[in-house]
Copies of this chain bind each other. A is one copy, B any other.
Amino acid sequence: MAETDPLVIFTPSGKRGRVAAGTPVLTAARQLGVDLDSVCGGRGICSKCQVTPSYGAHAKHGITVREDALTAFNAVEERYDRVRGLKPGRRLGCQAQVMADVVIDVPPESQVHKQVVRKRAEARDIVLDPAIRLHYVEVPEPDMHAPEGDLERLLAALKSEMGLETLGFDLHLLASLQKTLRAGKWGVTAAVHRHGPPQVIALWPGFHDKAHGIAVDIGSTTIAGHLTDLATGEVLASSGIMNPQIRFGEDVMSRVSHAMMNPGGAAELTTAVREGLNALIDALVEEAGIDKDTLLDSAFVMNPVMHHLFLGLDPYELGQAPFALATGAAQSLRAVDLGLDLAPGARAYVLPLIAGHVGADAAAVALSEQPHKSDDLVLVVDVGTNAEILLGDRTGVQACSSPTGPAFEGAQISAGQRAAPGAIERVEIDPVTKEPRFRVIGSDLWSDEPGFAEVIAETGLTGICGSGIIEVMAEMRMAGIVDAKGLIGTAEETGTPRCVADGRTQAYVLWEGDENHPRITVTNNDIRAIQMAKAALYAGARLLMDKRCVDKVDRVVLAGAFGAHISPRHAMVLGMIPDVPLDKVTSAGNAAGTGARIALLNRGARAEIEAVVRAIEKIETAVEPRFQEHFVAATAMPNAADPFPLLRAAVPLPEPSFTGGEAGGGRRRRRRG
């Protein structure tokens, strides 16, 4: 461009350059590599390319923008403003032409790769770059002298619009292609899927600008989905349903057993989870009020057994060593091939599994929490029936799973229950009087505050949820009611009548009960169940630390619903997690769900997580000799081998040694399993 050509400066990117006078702003943006959206290819239809010119003196840029730097409103802009309304100061980038030096701001909603508005502090930004892009194109009418087919002319128009060399076309669209082109008077909107070889997967007559996707976490218990606008990243609906496979078994191993013991059992489980997904999809579509034909993409995360059953694979091999996956690689499939009732051409992306016991959910956690980009050494723990554990930094990531069992979810605990109103979730025990106070889900009142009776009259008081059991155990440990080995002292040993005999061991009475609410105690068996679970979790983390030859980590991230509710201080008193400063323990919330949403909204994230998973060093705890050793040491609270100096400096950890009421101690040794 000549020095006399107008200078265009785009903000916020700062990109600048000279363009020929008369160049539309959209064209100028493309020439200068500025991220300005357009679905209709500059035909003044989609209004995605809105910009705000900035007039007057710009000292920073050294130019003064004249009022006539852009051409005046043309007929297209006037009609658009009249019919749909243009915000003050806005112009359509495809209509306004650059006539003199100008500064042009691209508002966030006009950027193709806009950042998704975050609801809370997340470890990473989501930059919109979904696999699906919509393109409105005008197709030349058929010509006997150049008898290319309608499809070939459509693809040629799309290629020139998108700059693509090759572009595929879904067979299922072919039968309606000719009618669609004619219904749109040769103007159509194509949805192009751009993960793998680019392919047209949906087609509408005329201009169309809606495309949606769902991100789904298929848990053993719950299937949770988020329906998202692919153009804005906005979550339009979130919903969860019970996994219908639950009728074949509560946990994954009982479902593997069902598949192994019953002819057609695996197929039954596949049908069940797919039916559940279709019910969830229908619920999400209804809640969001969208047309299902716009639901064009989906991303799925799950553990390995759910993965195989979802894909229609018999999980038989996952039930026995060497836990051979049929496939662990990421899958990019047609949703219809998975029996999913989305738009006819919709695609499904399944995140990669990490190993036979470490699922795509853990991969999604890695995508969300980015241990592979961490400057300090981070331990990421996703606690469930299996704990999935990642340890890493920029130099590399290790992963394993550890069989914690369901104790953290309140199972195997005498007063345990799922997190629901009426469940005890917070506990404090006075270290002097050994008297407890607690809160139940559904109220902020403590049990020793006025009005608590009214609270529990409403919510009920029914048991202890997972985070509550962690707290009460940790408080008992700090108050000297339970010793490091996990034995509850007698009333004599502890000095509180709340310690009562319970068979051959003691129990701590957390709530005496009344006529409407049961007595709630913490038994020594409860303590032991949690000890086993937390020892497995810690041993897994410790094994990963061994692999890196470190004996401490810099920070800990707790992922998952349980991790969101757990108190870091209490978890550390129990020795669930390695000794780090308490402010270095954070919750990532539903990181697996976030990871699925990232994979849905950003193509590059798919390649990223596939590469990260390939590079992860996978540790199989079942065959690591040191796992057992770490497990045994970790049954103590916090630990019989690791000193936890930071914890001991922060909280009182008395070291009594109880008999539990029996001379020499009545504790039977239990082993993992």
What is A's interface to B at a CB cutoff of 8 Å?
Answer: 141-152, 171, 174-175, 177-178, 197, 311-314, 316-317, 321-329, 333, 337, 353-356, 618, 620, 622-623
Contacts and interface: CB of A to CB of B under 8 A. Distances in A.
Given A145-B620, A317-B178, A620-B145, A327 B150 contact: yes
Contact of A175 (B175, B177, B313, B353): B313
Contacts of A325: 142, 147-150
A327 B147 contact: no
* A-B pairs, 5 with minimum CB distance: A142-B324, A149-B325, A151-B327, A147-B355, A149-B327
Q: Is the interface of A mostly helix, strand, loop or mixed?
A: loop
Contacts of A355: 147
Contact of A152 (B149, B328, B337, B622): B328
Contacts of A311: 174
A573 B391 CA distance: 89
Contacts of A144: 321-323, 356, 620, 622-623
A335 to B, nearest CB: 12
B312 A175 contact: yes
A637 to B, nearest CB: 31
Contacts of A145: 618, 620, 623
Given A144-B356, A322-B144, A175 B329 contact: no
A329 B353 CA distance: 39
18 contacts: A141-B322, A142-B323, A144-B321, A144-B356, A144-B622, A147-B323, A147-B354, A147-B620, A149-B353, A150-B317, A150-B324, A152-B327, A152-B328, A171-B337, A174-B311, A174-B326, A178-B314, A178-B317
A148 B614 CA distance: 9
A623 B144 CA distance: 8
A324 B149 contact: yes
Contact of A171 (B143, B324, B333): B333
Contact of A147 (B143, B149, B152, B356): B356
Nearest to A145: B620
A209 B2 CA distance: 68
A147 B354 CA distance: 8
A316 B176 CA distance: 12
A147 B313 contact: no
Contacts of A148: 325, 328
A312 B426 CA distance: 64
Contacts of A322: 141-144, 147
Contacts of A356: 144, 147
For A142, A146, A177, the residue with the greatest tally of chain B CB atoms inside 10 Å of its CB is A142
Nearest to A153: B324
A557 to B, nearest CB: 23
A547 to B, nearest CB: 12
Nearest to A337: B171
A174 B327 contact: yes
A305 to B, nearest CB: 14
A152 B329 contact: yes
Contacts of A175: 312-314
Contact of A149 (B178, B314, B326, B620): B326
A316 B182 CA distance: 13
Contacts of A618: 145-147
